[in-house]
Structure 1
Amino acid sequence: MNIRSTTNKNRFMQGKEERIRKKWYYQLLLSYLPVFFIATSIIVIISFVGVRLTIGNEAKRVNEVATTQMLKNIDDALRSIDHLILKEILNNVAFDKFFDLSKETDKYLDSLEMSDRIRNIIHATPLIDSLYLYRFRDQIVLTRDERIAIEQFQDKDFLAKLLQNQQQSKWSDLREVTETNVVTNETITRKVLTLTSKVPTISGELGLIVVNVRPYAIQSMIDQMANSSYSLLDFVDKNNTTIASVRDAALPQEDRLANQTHSFTIRSSYTGWSLHSSINNSEVYGFSSAIYYGYFAFWIAAIAAGAYWIYLITRRNYKPVEALMGRLEKYKSEKSLQLLGSDKRGEFDYIEHALDHLIDRFDYQQRHVEEHVKLRQRKLLLDLLEGNFVDRNDEIVKNMLEEQGQACVIVVEIDAYEHFVELYNKHDQYLLRFVVENVCYEVSQEHGIQVWAEWVEGHQLAVLFQSRESASQVEATSWKLSQWVQDNLDFTVTIGIGSPAKSMGEVSGSYERALAAIKMKFKFGRNRVIRFNDLPETEEELIVQPKVLKMIAQSFRQGDTEWSRKLLDFVNQTTEAHAAKENVQHILQLLLFSMDREMSEVASELRAIWKKRLLRLNEGLDTHETEIELSQFYCSELNEAYEDIKQHKDEKSHTALMHRIKEHIDKEYIDPDLTLARLGEVFQINSSYLSRTFKEEIGMNVTDYIVVSRMEKAKQLLKDTQEAVQDISVQVGYTYTMSFIRVFKKTTGLTPGEYRRLSAEA
């Protein structure tokens, strides 16, 4: 009895564990499949809509292009008839004999010849249904078959209406015309489109040529160009009467209207008729239905395959989790009350509780250790660089310093640090410093050099190199670090290399020499690697005589043209000397002091210009890191100040002169030799200076003003006098009349004769 009870209990527990394991498996599986179904359905729907919209838009574009081309072809065909008639009017002698009485030889023979020509034209042009000529002087109409008076002509009403209304377009709307066959005496009524041409083509005083075109010929053209299965077309005149159309005859009218979409209408600028087109939906979208069905079947198959794939992957990947869940369930049944306080909490609660506790303890200890080690490393390196006592038995010192080999300190300085601070926020600055430090470690490891680096200032990274090899590796590593920063970041660095240190006590001296090398960036420039050993042993002291500074300042104040050369000589002398930055700044301050003292004696407005530049010069003393940048800045600012002062002086002197030259032009415009060069000789000034200054003062250059002055006088003479154009051209300074006419038309848009006529009419 006990054995059977125990067996049943074991089976119950195994079944319970199996259900628990399967429960999470089904939850995991059902969490993936809905997302998969929804995502794929959305993609398929979007694809369906996209394909349909694409097909519709492309069909609309093709319909518009085809309709436009179709109307162009129709217009070209009709225009060819118009050109043919125009060519006959201009070139055919028979037309001249019929219409022009002075050229008539025999009116009956001429009419017979003209009728033959009409039949030839109709025969050669399939679009033409009929053609006849109407002569005004004797009211005679000539067709291909007869010569008849207007009163007996069957189309006389159209001619009368045409002469009465004087229609603007050459082409009439669709109309009915009645014609009697002279052989069979049969009367036929049909619809035609009529082209009317005047004879002659401009005045139309001799008569008219009337050409009737068959609408079914246009219908035939459209049928050849259009496909009724895809396009529905309606070609109408200005009264919206259908001339020709293309429709699907197999469909009733209401079905044709229901299937139309993407309507497009274009109007001919030549005839005034319009072509309406639309697309047959059933044909355009019927083609895509097969694609839709195939796409839908593929989608069903893809979803089924994807769902089965998810099932297999989930089943395979869940096996380790299933084993873990079984062990947790077994352990939980024994210890859950002790660990969690209640057996109602799930397995993942237990896992989460244990992992959170473990991770929190590990993170706390790790952060504590890293912060402590980093602070101690920074403190020890600073002590080494400053020459303070360092315990060699310290564990960190043992790890960071090698017992053998030699050390060397380099200083990596960020160039243009003020710009760096303005360009990047605090977080980005920290990140970029971290990048530079890491790159320093990486390139050093490539050369087998042990590195100890810390940021001693916001813009300076102190690096202690230790190597058993030659010290040249330090320079090679420094160049590689500098090149990497230049290629990959938006700023550059300058590196100063100190002298080698054979012991720990000599590290501070190497650091001081590295700082001295960095200071020479002022002389050598940015983005360089500067070795202390390359520096001159003694610093050259720059001495400048006060009289040199005073001479430059006086030349500046007096506006001497040699001022710029003297300043450049002074700057070159300063640059060539191996002087420290502080010495160069002091010399430049002395120069500014001398110039300011000289400028204190000038007029107040000139002194205001100088003071504005002086403020910028003083501010630029500390903002430029290199000597060449500082020198270029000073030369540029002082030259601009010189030009501003010179311009202010010139503005006071040349205004009156320019107005005198303007008055001279107004008086002497009659002189044919009045040119820019002649004015320069008269007033003894340079022609280019005269042209530039005259435009600044008057608003136009000298040559244009001479032309304007002469044209104004010419317009006055044309309006107030009846003198010949040749005489007026001489009076306004033009020897050749054609030159005057050409300039007058270019200036006013009219010839002198047209201007005089319009002025008289006004």
Structure 2
Amino acid sequence: MRIGNNNYIKRMLLSYLPILFVTVSMLVFIFISVINEINVRNASQANRLTAAFIANMVDSSLKGIAFDAQKMGETSEELQQFLVGPSDRAREYDVSNLLSTLIVRYGLIDSVYLYRARDGKVLDQSEIRPIEQFPDRSYVRSSMESILSGVWSPPRLKENGAASVSVTSLGLKIPRDSGSLGYLMINIKVSSLDSYIHQMIDQNITEAQLFDAQGKPFFGESGAASSSSTLNAEVVSDYTGWKYRMSIKGGKLFDFLLHGSTVWILLALGAIVFAIGSTFYVTRRSYKPIEAILHRIDRFSSAIKPAEPGENRNEFAFIDHAIERLITNNMAFQEKQQEHLVIRRQQFLQILLKGEYEDDRAAWEQEWHHFGLAAGHFIVALLEIDHYVQFGLKYSPGDQSLFKFIVSSVAVEISEQNGQRIVTEWIFKHQLVVLLISDDGEALEHQMLQLAEQVRVWVEQHLDFTVTIGIGSPAHQEPAIARSFDDASAAVSRKVTLGANQIIDSVEVIGKPDGEWFAYLESIRTIVRKLRMSEPEWPDELKRLFGEMAVQRLRKDDVNRLLHYLVFHLEYELDGALPEAAKERLLEAKSGLLLALEQSDTLQELEACFLTALEPLAGQVGELAQSRRHHALIRDIRNYVTEHFMDPSLSLTLLSDRFQIGPKYLSQLFKESTGENFSDFLIGLKMDYAKKMLRESDASVQTISEIIGYANTTSFIRVFKKIVGVSPGQYRESQMKHGDSR
């Protein structure tokens, strides 16, 4: 049969092509709908995980701030003395520094201030002032009247002079049950909280909002995600009661895809039924000329020209592109999951070291087995990079990360060679935690010491820096791991007195006495007084102070606190005694001392830096003392007072008659030359002699009072306690204990 034209073939093609097109299109729509539904559900799950993670991280930071603040309020002796003791500039400075340490330790904190109930004054990082002059006084007063304390407030406007900032605040009563002594207030900027949260998300994909317990947003309505979106994830904090809402940008479109998938499937099924029915109908009509159609199709297949590239759309290319996008998105999701696993591991180790898992034992067991750990015996070591400031200046951030990776990898490799199981994690920029897990509790400490020494020697031989490793106490139960970590931290903190590049076992330092603080403060005041008076013994006194700290093996924090007090007392004593031309040398010395405290790791380094910084200042003070008027006369008067200070009749009038100089002029010259009043100088000599007798003799307090010229023993005790800080009996008892500890 010869066909004259191809109209029939065209009609057949036109009959079947719409059916084929509709069928294939619907199948493609089904496939895309299923893929979209999977992607949307995965995105929703990731959104919920992210919301829970952010809530946990924010709660952990807020709990840490609240815990440290509460601990400081309950245990800080300086803070207690500030609230109940007499006004003292040095103590106010120390307490201000103590408050500042919270701001330094937690970057979220905007400001911290302390209200003292007995005189209604507020101390912050800049000054102390009456509450009537404090900008944020209204909130302080309302917080003191509140029944609850220790609860983070909703966002509020903190008054700051002419300006105001939005903050969330935590108020703590001191003491906690009554607040009768004072009130500690901590403020966190809402903008800092916003930045902290948005650092943990990809802002191109995800939106985050935070609401207080009343449903008011922290960051403004502009950033609020619609609560009606199915893809929104909301987590309510058990600690603060705040609601964390996470949403995916374009969430309405995803919602439509998620809920529209059923519609697409129904439409596709309908199209398939239509296609099947249409196919049967056309086939039935075309049944008789089937052979002719087949013949013509055969002829057509050989005669038809191939389509030009790009002339018709290739549906399979579209499907291939969709699959490629699916694989790419899945790989990106897996990378995110890996990053979350690293964060999860760090969080797990932090909780383990703090011992905070008891509230959720089931979750703890799940994490414990997830990371492949088994119960047994444990011990913690803390590796610290020596001279970390120089390390940070010498190497780029990339090189620092590489070196840290090398150190942790070496620890893991050495442990594997020794047949040991360890977990390592950099918990701080310069500190690596090593958790050793062993089935043998007897040789646990020996195994850790061997491992630590091998790591230390390897780093010293192969790298351009050294490390110091503190070894904690063995832990035979899981809750004791936190104690082992604390012991390791205490051990490595003794590096300042024991030296760097070594292994410090907690056995060497646990239970070591820290000495009496007022003894150190007395030494510091002696150093400053001798330097101010240009006495050549001040370097010896400084060396004696460092030697005493070395003998007592003080922690780094204690050494820094004492030496900061030395810098403060030096500036306080010399600032008023030096002329303006010489104050530049005082500022240079202060800068050198503070730089040494920041960059030095050991007492030997600190002692050398302090001597280097103070010698030029001492020379300047000596030159000024030599050039002052009547220096020789004042020196004779001072020597006379030093020899006859126990004479009850010693006074300015007696000195005026003896040295032929007016009492008022003598008092002025004495103040100008020595930096203190005659009466204060005389009392200081008497108190020094009294302390010597209390230390070296068994004479009673009344006998000592009469010897140094006090007819009334009560007056002597009052003056002694004001100068020394403790009563004569307490001083003698503390010196006896101090001598026994040595």
Question: TM above 0.5, one fold?
Answer: no
TM-score normalized by the length of structure 1: 0.36
